[in-house]
Chains A and B, each alone.
Chain A
């Protein structure tokens, strides 16, 4: 099981890692480490979306090493360790096991097009294949055919489907009634898929707080988990998205989607540094099983092409 996901992740990150890894090799090999080499290295790090500040930090660390081993491996190692140091504390299990509240409520949020609905489907699959009774709520009542899309996912994953028959229904009232129904039906985990919204549109963000408010009427500790889905292709704006969503709906986990392209997902590093939001999964494909656990070591190694 563990081996498969590492393979999956490696396969999916290999396109990008080979680029980064190769790049580092090319820059450092057969050159002395001077300012221009370091600057190139810095540029290179930045181009993996890990951000200016962190790149500068890594470069400074290399500069400050008194007896610097200038081999490619040694330099890579320094970079690797810096990345692991940031990411290690962010590892988080996808809950499960000790569910006390019934149902366990997961709210999935994010901007448009990051892959929320597919992520909800993959989460549902994960839990239902662990023998849990899963329910999915189609609270994206805005986007055309979003409900239909999710309904297909619920069939694929043997989940109970909750939706509203009214077009453009109020997502908060749908969430509320679904919560009650799920309680009656003894559902273990209820996943609420929300409409995509740009974090700078306050009216849409208000709608999100309303969903949380009504859930709290049933159970003050709900939702148990608020997951922000970030697109691995997004650059420095990810940080803004994460901080705004955190402020508004107190997200407690991240899932980084679409890491099966050449995107590096490097933006999780500045997010990890500044916001310290744990990462519970990485999306690496379009199939229902394409959600892998996040492991800092592997992620960093795959990113830098180190075995």
Chain B
């Protein structure tokens, strides 16, 4: 979702690479690229300006440190600032108020409020075991209330029965009454989409929020929003007590700069992100993860968590040690193949790894579907233990045996050995050289995709 922005910023840092210190002029150059990258990613101008100023003042203050390269330093500064910008903690719904807790959903037309209302209700009901009632206040758009009702029904969520003649102010009161009488924990009100400069409609929303006590007002914002997102956020948060943001449609390919604008303008946490059309596709928002993702530094946290779920941590650590020392055998390689398939294939793995997001495009999707991992494992399984540790001893007759044992051809065994050799060379480099980028940009690495694919 955020790849495009990360790619842009990566480009930017190439400018800084290979230069000894941050001089004012090369900093300016970098800042200009960052500014353009941000604007192209639809980060609002005001937010971009502020951000650039922060980076500038921090960067100049830190020129004294000589042990790190300017590029690393700027990356670090930008990363830290992004995390601060996006907020540093994850926020759930505040359950501390007395039930029924009322959540009001607001936003522009077509931002995804109704779908998000259903998703949020589903999440609260199924993850937190709360009893949830939803009600639509949209008396304007044709069949808007029916839309929420039918979504609710489909997912076993209770919805307020529709009375066609009612005004939003009446619906609110009836919904609150029902929620109180029937002991609901949570009432979610889906308001009509409105234009932020439509005074009449905005007043209606203010009126609604004055009629009953509302514990959360969530602003739903389309992640594809352009520069105007800043105006929208400002108007809504000026007029309503917005307690959080939900970014919808992050499963699209927008650069997602709206996330930055929203945080900057409203200073409110981004609580959730919509990542698909299905009712369960509402995720928590982790600012630190998104920040590193924007920078192309990889969603390392997510990877670690995912890995911890599926993979024996000790095993992974040992493997890592071996990789770093360059003592990497076919046994390890085979284990690695196992882990790759556990983690959901090469593609999904690359997504999480630092600096690899731009490589993802090079790796053909067919890898995932191909049986290459399985075939390679069969070959390794047909080897003796000694062969697996010292693959150099595998000569002609051994190759024939391995091919027969695994139902492959000698050429395939050759290919595996060649690939393994390249890989272990690369691993050695990995250990010695901390500069990931050099490795990523090395010709061997670029060939990796095609190698695996062959």
Contacts and interface: CB of A to CB of B under 8 A. Distances in A.
A52 B36 contact: yes
B251 A261 contact: no
A135 B178 CA distance: 42
A266 B39 CA distance: 14
B143 A235 contact: no
Interface string B26-57: 00000000011001111011000100000000
Nearest to A263: B228
B132 to A, nearest CB: 17
A158 interface: no
A145 B144 contact: yes
A235 B254 contact: yes
A124 to B, nearest CB: 13
A237 B45 contact: no
Contacts of A264: 227-228
A234 B143 contact: no
Nearest to B141: A149
B42 A236 contact: yes
A148 B197 contact: no
Interface stretch (A97-105, A108-116, A125-133): A108-116
A233 B142 contact: no
B320 interface: no
A228 B290 CA distance: 31
A115 B228 contact: no
Interface in A60-88: none
A175 interface: no
Contacts of B225: 233-235
Contact of A111 (B143, B198, B252): B252
B44 A47 contact: yes
Contacts of A145: 143-144, 146-147, 149-150
Contact of B144 (A16, A52, A149, A258): A149
Interface string B176-211: 000000000000000000011110000000000000
A261 B227 contact: no
21 contacts: A43-B45, A44-B45, A49-B228, A111-B224, A111-B252, A113-B112, A145-B149, A146-B143, A146-B147, A148-B143, A199-B253, A233-B108, A233-B232, A235-B224, A235-B257, A236-B42, A236-B255, A237-B255, A258-B108, A262-B231, A286-B140
A198 B143 contact: no
A258 B253 CA distance: 21
A198 B281 CA distance: 15
Contacts of B154: 144
Contacts of A216: none
Q: Which of A49, A153, A264, A286 has the most CB of B within 10 A?
A: A286
Contacts, number: 148
Given A46-B45, A235-B225, A149 B110 contact: no
| Across the A-B interface, the 9 shortest Cβ-Cβ residue pairs | A235-B226, A113-B110, A145-B147, A235-B42, A148-B143, A152-B142, A149-B143, A145-B146, A144-B150
A270 B151 CA distance: 37
Contacts of B40: 51-52, 236
Interface of B: 35-36, 39-42, 44-45, 49, 108-112, 140-144, 146-151, 154, 195-198, 222, 224-229, 231-232, 249, 251-255, 257-258, 277
A148 B141 CA distance: 11
B147 A144 contact: yes
Contact of A236 (B110, B141, B226, B252): B226
A46 B39 contact: yes
A235 B232 CA distance: 13
A257 to B, nearest CB: 8
Contacts of B253: 198-200, 237, 240
B95 to A, nearest CB: 28
B109 A115 contact: yes
B251 A48 contact: no
Nearest to B108: A233
Nearest to B145: A145
Given A236-B41, A237-B42, A262 B228 contact: yes
Contacts of A146: 143, 147
B106 to A, nearest CB: 14
A217 interface: no
A240 B224 CA distance: 11
Contacts of A231: 110, 222, 224
B45 A144 contact: no
Interface core residue of B39, B110, B144, B196 (most chain A CB under 10 Å) = B110
Contacts of A15: 197
Nearest to B193: A113
A235 B227 contact: yes
A195 B249 CA distance: 15
Given A145-B144, A145-B147, A145-B150, A237 B228 contact: no
Nearest to B110: A113
Interface string A197-227: 0111100000000000000000000000000
Given A235-B226, A237-B252, 15 more contacts: A112-B112, A113-B249, A144-B147, A144-B154, A148-B146, A149-B147, A151-B143, A198-B249, A198-B252, A234-B224, A235-B227, A236-B255, A261-B228, A264-B227, A266-B226
